[in-house]
Amino acid sequence: MSSIITVISFSFCLFFSENWSSTLSKIPSDNSFVFLVAQNANVIKLVCAASDVLVAKGLDCGKVIKECANILGGNGGGRKNFAEGSGKDDTKMQDALNKAKEIIEKI
């Protein structure tokens, strides 16, 4: 791949609101990919968003979230450009981040 894709990830306590959906669904039309991980009490939330360019190259955020949430013992899904999920196994957070990175590096 000639372009650089930056995987952005956060791992901290965070309050998720409906504003995430509207904000992250407006990713610029370049090689942008956002993958957020946040733990709040006993729940680990995942959010993934991708630009139309990456979606056209075959990236599907719904599948990314489904695979990563599965690692955490949870579930999730969504659209090709935006998806959400959750899980409970906080010992696997780094594994979930690594899986997201592995998927995006194949695009």
pLDDT at 24: 59
Mean pLDDT, 10 residues at a time, the chain of 107 residues:
42 44 61 83 88 90 96 95 93 91 87
pLDDT at 16: 45
Do 76 and 46 meet the contact criterion of CB atoms below 8 Å apart?
Answer: yes
Do 46 and 65 meet the contact criterion of CB atoms below 8 Å apart?
Answer: yes
The DSSP secondary-structure symbol of 102 reads: H
Do 48 and 34 meet the contact criterion of CB atoms below 8 Å apart?
Answer: yes
